[in-house]
Chains A and B, each alone.
Chain A
Amino acid sequence: MKLLVISNFLLFFLCISPLIAQQKFEKEYRIEAADVPLVARQFVDSLDFGRRVRWYREVSQQGESIEAKSKREGQKYSVEFGLSGDLQDVEIEIAWRDLPEALRKNIEQSLKAEFDRFKIRKVQRQFTGKSKDILNQLRQPDGGGDLTTKYELVLKGRKGGETNQFEYTFSADGKLEKRAKMVFRNTDNLEY
């Protein structure tokens, strides 16, 4: 019987091994603050996160970047840099109700045209521009400077009987700029 079990396993392994295809390469991993360019560390230090900052390095076919994640006053911050420490953007998670009413209406109009039903799960305000201007904005909101503000929404949308999760990007005045369907990781090991 033991032999039968072992031979069954071997047979399965042999049958399925050609079917296990390589997927596209994408990886992110924790790094120490000491491995982060000084200019990036200094920028994050100046944001005065009163708590631990987690640093990550992301590697994909599109390139590499460094990301700092932390929280300030109950809001989640994500600060992205290039490998040399050049600031790329700052994203702050905010509540949907905290967006200006006119902006919420514009976004809702766009989403109503896209879906039969939708539910917003996450909203991030994204700032891009010179690090000095971003810093001013974060220290003193509406502090001026030449900044680009965008809004990234993660939402569950239903259309034609099909429900999916999407990431939508809107401009500061609520114009739809980008949409992407999100792909979930395999959940087989949690279901069976």
Chain B
Amino acid sequence: MKQTTLFFLCLLNTNLWAQNSYKLGMLPGLNINQKLGKNWRLNYKLESRLLGTEGRFSEPTPFAVQHSLTDLAVLSSRKVGLNNSLAGGYLLRLEKGGPSHRLIQQYTLVRSYDEFRLAHRFSADQTFSKKEAGEVRLRYRVSFDVPLNGQEVDDREFYLKINNEYLNSLQGGSYGLEIRVVPSLGFAFNDNNKVELGIDYRLTDFLSGPSESCFWLPLSWYIGI
């Protein structure tokens, strides 16, 4: 009980909070999924990170949008059951200081219920670049989407989607945990054409010292072809 009280007091301590840093920006993205036969699919992803501002909570800095990085990824996935699939692919990250390369493996399980859908994603990735030590991550994400009208998302309808992800990373011998929560409002033009706008909150480095909070505004377009 004492520990819990202490934990909340620490959270409320404004001096400590002031030491924590933040980032604020946008994440426009395009996600194209191509069917290849009965069980195979290809996923192409283009996502950019546009940084608006960053600093410490105690010293806010002016807002000036600048391009931070661009990710280009391709994943090949195979359906391995009724609602589950295995995927693997490659991501190229273009940013100042040189590119980095990431290998991705993932297993997803999607279950439809009467009024919502729930997806579990277990993934691993390995990132390599010349400027930093290699990084290995193990990730788990749970996603949920629910129509805002009726029992399923029909054409030209809005829906709510919430992602919650836990990322364990190992880089240069040090362990890090990142937590992401992404509530989004989606609009389905049809089942193969959806747009989502949300708030992507990422909390990092909170185990080892002053944390970093990132607030991104993701604008994602999902297209199935």
Contacts and interface: CB of A to CB of B under 8 A. Distances in A.
A128 to B, nearest CB: 22
Given A20-B192, A27-B155, A185 B112 contact: yes
Contact of A192 (B33, B66, B153): B33
B150 A30 contact: yes
B43 A189 contact: no
Contacts of B196: 189
Nearest to A22: B190
A13 B156 CA distance: 19
A61 interface: no
A187 B87 CA distance: 14
A28 B190 contact: no
B223 A164 contact: no
A156 B82 contact: yes
Contacts of B154: 26-29
B155 A23 contact: yes
B76 interface: no
B75 A192 contact: yes
A25 B157 CA distance: 12
A56 interface: yes
Interface stretch (A1-9, A45-53, A144-152, A169-177): A1-9
A113 interface: no
A162 B87 CA distance: 19
B81 A163 contact: yes
Instruction: Tell me what chain B mostly uses at the interface: helix, strand, loop, or mixed.
Output: strand
B175 to A, nearest CB: 26
Contacts of B225: 16, 19-20
A8 B46 contact: yes
A16 B143 contact: no
B202 interface: no
A27 to B, nearest CB: 4
B30 A12 contact: yes
Output the residue of A19, A23, A189 with the most chain B CB within 10 A.
A189
Contact of A185 (B82, B153, B156): B153
Nearest to B110: A187
A184 B193 contact: no
B158 to A, nearest CB: 11
A20 B193 contact: yes
B46 to A, nearest CB: 6
18 contacts: A2-B66, A2-B67, A5-B67, A8-B70, A9-B28, A20-B225, A23-B155, A23-B191, A27-B154, A185-B153, A186-B192, A187-B108, A187-B119, A189-B161, A189-B186, A189-B196, A189-B220, A192-B222
Interface of B: 28, 30-33, 38, 43, 45-46, 48, 50, 66-67, 70, 75, 77, 81-83, 85, 87, 108, 110, 112, 114, 117, 119, 121, 143, 145, 149-157, 161, 186, 189-194, 196, 220, 222-225
Interface of A: 1-2, 4-5, 8-9, 12-13, 16, 19-23, 25-30, 56, 76, 156, 162-165, 184-192
